[in-house]
Amino acid sequence: MEEMEFEDFKDLPEEAEQGTPTQSLDQRPVIQDLRTGRKYPIPSYPLFIGREKYSSICIPVPAISRRHAKIFEREGVFYIQDMGSINGTFVNDKRILDPIALKEGDRVKVGVTKKYPKGAREFIFKSNVSEEERLEKEKNEERDRILKEVGVTPGPAESKKIVLRHCVFNVAKKELVAIFKAEEYHRVPLLKLDIGHSMLSFLDLSSFRVRDTVTMSLEHPRLPEPLKITLRILGVNPKPVYGIIEHKCLIIKISEKHKAILENMIVLSDMICYMTSRRLSDSIPPADPS
């Protein structure tokens, strides 16, 4: 039997610090229960959804785990993270494995089972921003898109390196006859990227086979183009119960151009909230042979 752990943001407080000025809850984004209509403002510290009675949103049904999911803010963006629940957290009907940014109108379901095919509870995310703020944000996003299209170099305020955990990672199996049989890319959580040792690990719900050749696409709006990395699967490590598989890979090809972009534009930081596992026996000291 294995115990599930989380690599989490270490700098996120569990609750508001005393004496710290906080933004009025009236001005905060909300997550609204579609069944009851009740709105839950998202504070500056994480909002927990779970069966536990001390949860910010308590749902006392067996389909919900004690700590099922949480919503938190990071640099002005609001994320939802599944906490390793059995029956899953879904955003717009897609089960999430890694933290995902919430957008206006996103629908969140928790505890999808045969008894609750539409989820034990369903919510909608509302950013609670003024029309002025929304238009300003859309204007800035459109500006960034145009700058990217015309290839204009960002100014000093925009020239900071991209944090690796803010990128999107997609994989597809590489076929010899790809021109006739092309496989679509799908998003996966990255666990590790070590360019120096040519090693990479990612999680996936479906399993590739050992020795399969896989192409990974690393994407971010500030990158001039998606970075392509060719991998060979060295090993697969299923995570019991959760149906998630860790793939350990060897990096066998990355162009000099893409390697230079990776080194110059991206900070190889730790990943966020990705699941790892360890055996309980690893934490138990060996018995004294005497």
Q: What is the pLDDT of residues 8-17, one digit of tens each?
A: 444 444 554 4
Q: What angle do CA 191, 70, 236 make, to 5 degrees?
A: 25
Inform me whether the pLDDT recorded for 139 exceeds 90.
no
* Residue 199 CB neighbour total at 10 angstroms: 15
Structure tokens at 134: 């929304």
The answer to whether the CB of 28 falls within 8 A of the CB of 36 is no
Residue 267: per-residue pLDDT: 85
As a whole number, mean pLDDT of residues 83-105 equals: 92
Phi-psi region of 93 (alpha: psi -120 to 50; beta: other; left: phi over 0): left
Place of tokens 């049904």: 61
Residues 6+ apart with CB under 8 A from 279: 2, 3
Q: Identity (one letter) of the amino acid at 116?
A: Y
Task: Report how far apart, in Å, the C-alpha atoms of 131 and of each of 23, 41, 93, 145, 221 are.
Answer: 19, 19, 28, 21, 25
Most confident of 45-49, 157-161, 180-184: 45-49
What average pLDDT is seen over the chain?
Answer: 78
Inform me whether the pLDDT recorded for 194 exceeds 80.
yes
pLDDT band (50, 70, 90) for residue 280: very low
How much of the chain exceeds pLDDT 90, in percent? 38
DSSP letters along 139-204, please? HHHHHHHHHHHHTPPP-GGG-SPEEGGGSEEEEEEPPTTTTTSPPPPEE--EEEEETTTTEEEEEE
Render pLDDT for 200-254 as a digit per residue (tens, 0 to 9): 999 888 778 899 999 999 999 888 899 999 999 999 988 776 678 889 999 999 9
Alpha-carbon 202 to chain mean position:
12
- Strand 162-163 versus strand 266-267 pairing type: parallel
As a whole number, mean pLDDT of residues 72-79 equals: 89
Alpha-carbon 280 to chain mean position:
26
Residue 104: per-residue pLDDT: 87
**pTM, full prediction:** 0.42
Residue 95: per-residue pLDDT: 94
Alpha-carbon 1 to chain mean position:
25
